[in-house]
Amino acid sequence: MKILVTGAAGFIGFHLVETLVKEGHEVVGIDNINDYYDVNLKFARLNESGIDRYLITENGQLIASSKNKTYSFAKIDITDLQKLEKLFVEENFTHVVNLAAQAGVRYSLENPHAYVQSNLVGFVNILECCRHNKIEHLVYASSSSVYGANSKIPFSEEDRVDHPVSLYAATKKSNELMAHTYSHLYDLPTTGLRFFTVYGPWGRPDMAPMLFAKAITKGVAINVFNNGEMQRDFTYIDDIVEGIVRCVSTLPKKQPRAEVFNIGNSKPVDLMEFISTMEDCLGLYAEKNFMPMQEGDVKKTWANTELLEKVTGYAPNYELKKGVKRFTDWYLKFKAIKN
Ligand SMILES: NC(=O)c1ccc[n+]([C@@H]2O[C@H](COP(=O)([O-])OP(=O)(O)OC[C@H]3O[C@@H](n4cnc5c(N)ncnc54)[C@H](O)[C@@H]3O)[C@@H](O)[C@H]2O)c1
């Protein structure tokens, strides 16, 4: 397979590239390396994949990885249709994994336009390029946030998801609808993945695990929203990557060829349990600021992953302690680049 991974300097994209390359695939990564969070972390991830930040150009030229012969990277924004079309025509991809997006629920209240650009304009560009270049399968990131404030748990793919509580969630639900249309009109096989709170090494600095690790190791109080009365289906990054890889090679069978799966750990954890597990792994106590619920946020997420298990054989391998320990070990080793 020759696979395009968008968002390759991001948390999930970086890990996915590493795995796909190890499995022997030819991989091209793109990312606009935006400054939603510290670009040094994005460059550090690229560096891990053998991409030298000082060789990256603004004109979208591909740079070969110094570590993996089958990996190359270009700085390209998915909203730039011209550069994207050129890349698709020149590179002849067989598969595309679209992870590039403006992520984050809370930031969508501050900067809605960033979400419209990357998640809607950018996504339609990806769909158009896939359609015109006969891509065999497009796998793309959706989100557990599409379930909004649904009270029926665990969340299942057949549940109604028509009541998003953030613009971020609305753009992700839109992606599922847009992909369905392209599968229907142009027979483009598409698979959307609703990720549930992903954590692990090289994680996102705007998400709780990284925010907590940073504050706890600095002796600063952590903010605990809704007074800690929240549950999240925390999912370790290796399980997410395993699920994505399985989906890439599993074409949707039904007509139109549009599939959507939950991908989570299927074991919701109390926020306070997550914090105490992190305290244990770091050997440090966390000062806590108990805060009210934040707008746009949801109290509980829990993935029903039976469909993904049935279709692809996916089974998560990381229970909380094992995952958090791996994360904190990495954090302590690499914290110099993140603080
Ligand atoms: N991490 C999670 O828990 C989680 C949960 C649900 C959904 N998701 C989704 O999974 C995907 C990957 O998330 P992540 O956690 O790795 O986030 P991330 O922010 O670390 O990675 C996304 C990458 O996309 C890049 N990007 C953004 N807009 C772009 C554009 N217009 N053109 C090119 N590149 C662009 C960013 O620079 C970033 O490196 C996103 O679509 C996100 O919405 C993540």
The tens digit of pLDDT for each residue in 156-211 reads 999 999 999 999 999 999 999 999 999 999 999 999 999 999 999 999 999 999 99
Q: Is residue 331 part of a domain?
A: no
Give the chain's domain count: 1
Q: What is the DSSP letter of 228?
A: G
Q: Is residue 151 part of a domain?
A: yes
- Catalytic status, residue 168: yes
> CATH code at 304?
3.40.50.720
To test the ligand 1 pocket, which listed residue (18, 31, 73) has its Cβ within 8 A of the most ligand atoms? 31
Q: Tell me the percentage of the chain whose pLDDT exceeds 70.
A: 99
Please indicate whether residue 179, judged by its CB atom, sits closer than 6 Å to ligand 1. no
Residue range 287-315: mean pLDDT, rounded:
95
Please indicate whether residue 247, judged by its CB atom, sits closer than 6 Å to ligand 1. no
Q: Is residue 69 part of a domain?
A: yes
Q: How far is the CA of 309 from the centre of ligand 1 (A)?
A: 24
Residue 81: domain span: 2-198+235-265+299-317
Residue 121 has a pLDDT of 98
The per-residue pLDDT for range 110-137, each reduced to its tens digit, is 999 999 999 999 999 999 999 999 999 9
- Which pair of structure tokens corresponds to residue 13? 């994209």
Q: Is residue 90 part of a domain?
A: yes
Q: Is residue 29 part of a domain?
A: yes
Strands 198-199 and 137-143: unpaired
Rounded Cα–Cα distance for residues 55 and 37 (Å): 21
Count of C-beta atoms within a 10 Å radius of residue 116? 18
List, in sequence order, every residue forming a beta bridge with 114; answer none if it has no partner: none
To test the ligand 1 pocket, which listed residue (143, 235, 263) has its Cβ within 8 A of the most ligand atoms? 143
Q: Is residue 36 part of a domain?
A: yes
Rounded Cα–Cα distance for residues 250 and 292 (Å): 42
Rounded Cα–Cα distance for residues 312 and 248 (Å): 10
Long-range contacts of 60-68 (CB under 8 A, 24+ apart): 60/86, 60/87, 62/28, 65/21, 68/21
Q: Is residue 284 part of a domain?
A: no
Rounded Cα–Cα distance for residues 336 and 323 (Å): 21
Give the predicted TM-score (pTM) of the model: 0.98
Beta carbons of 174 and 120 less than 8 angstroms apart: yes
Question: Given the CA of residue 204, which atom of ligand 1 is nearest to it?
Answer: 20
Please indicate whether residue 77, judged by its CB atom, sits closer than 6 Å to ligand 1. yes
Q: Is residue 45 part of a domain?
A: yes
Residues 6+ apart with CB under 8 A from 283: none
Please indicate whether residue 78, judged by its CB atom, sits closer than 6 Å to ligand 1. yes
Q: How far is the CA of 244 from the centre of ligand 1 (A)?
A: 14
Torsion of CA 100, 101, 107, 112, to 10 degrees: 150
Q: Identify which of 187, 175, 171, 277 has the alpha carbon closest to the alpha carbon of residue 232.
A: 277
